[in-house]
Structure 1
């Protein structure tokens, strides 16, 4: 924890600029051994929160011309002294500068260690630290907006409000139990009962927001399925506006999974083009068919594509029978041709959308309908509402909710007040888990192992 750590914070490879970062008490000392400012000032005399032009030397060997940012703690990301060396962005030069810093006394940073230090030093709580990672991995404007709200402290502040409400109840209970001679009434006052009900309601709202938050953050895995030659690959190409999948009149062209991501009104839609499902003696195609059938079960949403210009066939029925009616949208393709298909037997599909993938007919309407189906009426602007995106937060809030329900049941049954103490502690501990005030080393290792080195 008290070592000075160093890492390359920009992606490896060629680029205009590369950044090598240090954090720790010896950052300035190590920098003074390798950096010579053009102004000829000593490193120790450089003003904090400034950027300084100069050169990096290994002994008398010039390594690079650089700009160096020096930030004196505690007004830094980690609340420690931080140095950032902005060098040329080649793969070799950043590695050489990092190796030099390690040789002069720093050690290589572990994954997420800069942000972990920010958490341990009180600069961020755990929800904000997780938001940093979510911003890095954000796929859409909406997902980044949610992460920025969390980084700003919106979830942290809401959890703080709920904890205060529970603490008020706990304080009353402790006074009643510890000072019976004071004659304080056993029943909770109305305002404290309101506290419990508000915690219950708020926990419920946050828990309910998780499914939507998960979609915005991680995306909706959407499998495009159907028998061969109904236009699955054409549909993928049309949505992507590029020839991503091979399209021919020959059945069985698509033999493996093709996966692409599009931004559907702020939700990442992970489109998966699958092999046409049919009975075949081709060993390789059979593997693709098996993958398609597995995806029907694993996907969040299934687009079941049928060919409107052909009569219903046994292969259509075979695909239809494998569908889960709760997560399927029907796509009636080839509406630019004479209609021959009767949809009546395909009764698992509650909604059909008519399109022509090759003629680009109905595609915009299809995207609108898919979005409505995914959101299921919850189309309010996510920036106006606190939404959780992390299963860890959901799990902790579920424990909070259960503890409060137990407290209310104890009150309703007229049981002694001392029975509430365990559940009050559970509610407080669960809320503290969200922000990381109560955390285990294993939990922190899990959270920060998902970060890249240098962040």
Structure 2
């Protein structure tokens, strides 16, 4: 499906830079480029091989606009699957703007957000999961996130979905034959064969679905909240993790009165670290608001880091903090190990496992690496480090897999109850549709518009 009109947009970020790129895609791309571009060699762009950079100038009539390099990529072997022209001019606001305005006077319209990638999908060059991976590559916050996104862009998820849908097709074909040519003598054999395939399919779908939690963290970051009483070393811990003095550290209780948020990369995991006000009873109206925010931040946290002063016995406030984070992934840090110990570790183990208790000295930067290792093990549990790097990072994909998983469970229940093949067929057709929702085979046009509207104009 090739789109009739030709589109153009600036593909580089606005502002000053060495190079600015204007991209044109559509059947008139080459014609438009040859109208406004004159090569120093005197040749036309079409006289060069496709994908050759041609040096020359952009002209508006007799007026030269800029010195440029032009590349022509003949469809369907291009990003969009159509004829594509890319003009490399000097970076900055004026040159790229003038060239784009000139192009838009030549029966070319301004591209919509994500339209270049949308055309790549509509023209069959990539599937929808690969198209969505483009935005993940652009927005990656860590090397690991970029690696997973790049893996999906190259087709790892697309190929897996194709494989799963092929297995569903095989079961549907077997059900169709059984419906059309029913034979009581082979019914038990048929049910058994379908059940074996269904159990295998369910396991594969579940494995993909289970990777979504780690995938979401890689894509959006892990919201990590540091909580504890005043003066236990929360701000010192934040400074140690960040490697800079971001938070004010004093011996005065209540120094941190508001929530401080910072982004940090720990072993490939993007963490949005929130340093909160010390939790205690106070009459100070400003500090009281900060304490309330601290308590609220626990509810929205993916990971809670509780900091306790190991040189002092546990208090009721400490126990209240431990209780408030009981339902969360929690790490307890026993800070100030450079001082004499007075804390009761056994009481803490009633709230968190012994393995989740780490002794540190935030002031002397001791034990910080252990925190990094623990965060990595808690988030990934080893599965993201596999060589496949096939991880679900998109909530839309997760939802589709959840529905496919429910349908395969319904199908297995029907097989075990020896329901008529027609009933089981309905469930497998649902699985087919839900998996197709991921790669775009069964997606609706209005959803496509929503997905691609999150892209930048030039992509």
Question: Shorter-chain-normalised TM-score: which range?
Answer: over 0.9
Task: Establish whether residue 160 from structure 1 lines up as the match of residue 162 from structure 2.
Answer: yes
1:425 to 418, 422, 429: 429
Pairing 1:399–2:373 present: no
Q: Secondary structure at the match of 1:304?
A: strand
Give CA-to-partner distance per residue, 1:13-53, whole Å, 9 cap, x none: 11111111111111112212321111111244343211111
* Match for residue 371 of structure 1 among 365, 373, 376: 376
CA deviations over 1:286-331 (Å, ceiling 9, x no partner)? 3332221111111001111122234444543443342234422111
Matched residues in 1 for 2:445 and 2:122: separation?
Answer: 12
Structure 1 gap ranges (5+): none
For residue 343 of structure 1, report the CA deviation from its aligned partner. 4.8
CA distance in 2, matches of 1:9, 1:108: 12
Q: 1:11 to 1:286 in 2, by over 3 A?
A: farther
1:47 to 26, 46, 49: 49
Give 3-state SS (helix, strand or coil) of 1:293's partner.
helix
Deviates more, 1:224-233 or 1:94-103: 94-103
Q: Classify the secondary structure of the residue corresponding to 1:229.
A: coil
In structure 2, the partner of 1:416 is 420
TM-score (norm. length: structure 1): 0.93
1:154-189 CA-to-partner distances (Å, cap 9, x unmatched) read 222222222222212212222233355x99944417
Between 338-347 and 78-87, the greater mean CA deviation after superposition: 338-347
- 1:77 corresponds in structure 2 to 79
Unaligned regions of 5+ residues in structure 2, if any?
Answer: none
CA distance in 1, matches of 2:87, 2:366: 53
Could you report, residue by residue, the CA deviation over 1:331-368 in whole angstroms, capped at 9, with x for unpaired residues? Answer: 11111223344455544243321111111111112222
Aligned pair partner of 1:260 in 262, 275, 282: 262
Provide the rounded CA distance (Å) in 2 between the counterparts of 1:96 and 1:278.
60
Mapped to 2, the partners of 1:160 and 1:224 lie a distance apart of 43
TM-score normalised per structure 2: 0.92
Q: Does 1:98 align with 2:67?
A: no
| Matching residue of 2:351 | 348
Pair 1:148–1:320, CA change in 2 (3 A): same
Structure 1 window deviating more from structure 2 (141-150 vs 316-325): it is 316-325
Contact (CA 8 Å) 2:191, 2:415: kept in 1 or not? no
Distance of 1:402 and 1:311 partners within structure 2? 49
Deviations 1:387-437 (A, max 9, x none): 222222222122222222222222222222222221121111111111110
How far residue 277 of structure 1 moved from its aligned partner, in angstroms, is: 2.1
How many residue pairs were aligned? Answer: 453
User: Using a 3 Å threshold, how does the CA distance of structure 1 residues 405 and 63 change in structure 2: closer, same or farther?
Assistant: same
RMSD across aligned C-alpha pairs, in angstroms?
2.2
Contact 2:148 2:389 in 1 (8 A): no
Mapped contact 1:265–1:371 kept (Cα < 8 A): yes
CA contact under 8 A between 1:140 and 1:267: conserved in structure 2?
A: yes
1:161, 1:183 → 2: CA distance? 31
1:103-182 equivalences in 2 (<5 Å): 103-179=105-181
Paired residues of 1:333 and 1:355 also in contact (CA < 8 A): yes
Change over 3 Å in CA distance of 1:230–1:5 after alignment to 2: same
Matches within 5 A, 1:148-227: 148-179=150-181, 185-187=186-188, 188=190, 191-227=193-229
Q: Secondary structure at the match of 1:384?
A: coil
Equivalent residue runs for 1:224-263 within 5 Å:
224-263=226-265
Report SS of the residue matched to 1:393. helix
Task: List aligned pairs for 1:332-347, cutoff 5 A.
Answer: 332-343=334-345, 345-346=347-348, 347=350
